[in-house]
């Protein structure tokens, strides 16, 4: 399988702050790869280095077989980059914004390509609307159209759905799925673990380091713990009780708790006895498969 991105021990610091701490990974042609982690994990710095916008302190990487430093100009010609704060021109129409980016990339006779992208992103009815008057979701679609105008082989998307409404977010994912059919490689960063589930492979990143790297299924399967879901009342009291008086790891998700245990049967009995003894009303207790949220929070806890 052709690896379009290869990273070996890549590092980037800002003064004494290490943003990317000697990470290594690879990305295959035609896959959707997810770099997943919270704000400050090092995702944006990693993408900006791969796009030639930041110089690494040490380590090496190739993009489409070009060295990250020596082949920076060639890399930029063959990739697309959608940053967190994509600079659309609010006083230009959708059509004019795409034309502007076509000119930047030296794309001649771009009319058919623009029409194709407008149809693809469902922006054709709005092509004469000023970008400044678009909704957040429509701005992201326009930003993607501008990114794709020169037919890049890889597109880098830095948290593309952050701040986008749920409907537009779903539409955006449909568009990305269609891009994969054209054999375009997608390298995206996201703080959303539900989005990570859609990727072929993911790297979980925290404090500049890769803490897990595999398919979402394999990342979850590697967790050698049992997850017990507890629905009870009052939930906050139950959370504090388990956290402060047991060896169990407890995670809160809305109206339920996920308790990480070693043995499903014996540990569940201990858990139920503890809650009942402290006047916690138990509505439901059941084992569930580990989610990426469970795995990520467990790995972060182990690292601290």
pLDDT, tens digit (0-9, with 9 covering 90-100), for 137-166: 899 899 999 999 999 999 999 998 887 788
Contact (CB, 8 A) for 225 and 261: yes
DSSP 93: B
Go through 117-142 and write b for each residue having 16 or more CB atoms within 10 A of its CB, e for each that does not. Answer: bbebbebeebbeebbeebeebbbbbb
| Cis peptide bond upstream of 234, omega within 30 | yes
- Predicted TM-score (pTM) of this structure: 0.89
For the chain, which domains are there?
3-215 (3.40.50.300), 223-303 (3.30.70.100)
Share in percent of the chain as helix, strand, coil (round to 5): 40, 30, 30
pLDDT per residue over 175-229, tens digit each? 888 889 889 999 999 998 988 999 999 999 999 999 999 999 999 999 989 999 9
pLDDT per residue over 50-101, tens digit each? 999 999 999 999 999 999 999 999 999 999 999 877 678 889 999 999 999 9
Mean pLDDT across the chain? 92
Question: Looking at the predicted structure, is the pLDDT value of residue 41 above 70?
Answer: yes
């Amino acid at each position: 399988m052709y690896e379009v991105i290869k990273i070996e021990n890549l590092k980037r610091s800002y003064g004494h702050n290490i943003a990317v701490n000697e990470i290594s990974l690879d990305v295959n042609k035609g896959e959707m790869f997810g770099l997943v982690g919270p704000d400050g994990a090092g995702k944006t710095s990693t993408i900006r280095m791969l796009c030639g916008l930041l110089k690494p302190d040490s380590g090496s990487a190739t993009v489409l077989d070009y060295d990250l430093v020596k082949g920076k100009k060639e890399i930029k010609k063959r990739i697309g980059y959608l940053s967190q704060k994509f600079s659309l021109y609010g006083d230009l129409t959708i059509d004019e914004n795409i034309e502007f980016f076509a000119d930047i990339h030296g794309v001649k006779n771009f009319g058919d390509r623009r029409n194709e992208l407008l149809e693809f992103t469902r922006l054709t009815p709005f092509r004469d609307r000023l970008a400044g008057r678009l909704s957040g979701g429509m701005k992201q679609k326009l930003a993607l159209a501008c990114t794709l105008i020169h037919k890049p082989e890889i597109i880098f998307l830095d948290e593309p759905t952050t701040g986008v409404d749920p409907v537009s977010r779903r539409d955006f994912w449909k568009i990305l799925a269609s891009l994969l059919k054209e054999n375009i490689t997608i390298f995206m960063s996201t703080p959303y673990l539900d989005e990570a589930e859609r990727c072929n492979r993911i790297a979980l990143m925290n404090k500049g380091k890769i803490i897990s790297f595999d398919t979402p299924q394999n990342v979850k399967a590697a967790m050698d713990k049992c997850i017990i879901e507890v629905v009870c009342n009052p939930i906050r009291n139950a959370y504090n009780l388990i956290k402060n008086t047991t060896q169990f790891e407890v995670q809160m998700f809305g109206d339920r708790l996920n308790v990480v245990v070693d043995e499903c049967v014996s540990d569940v009995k201990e858990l139920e006895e503890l809650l009942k003894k402290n006047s916690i009303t138990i509505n439901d207790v059941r084992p569930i498969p580990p989610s990426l949220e469970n795995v990520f929070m467990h790995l972060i806890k182990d690292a601290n």
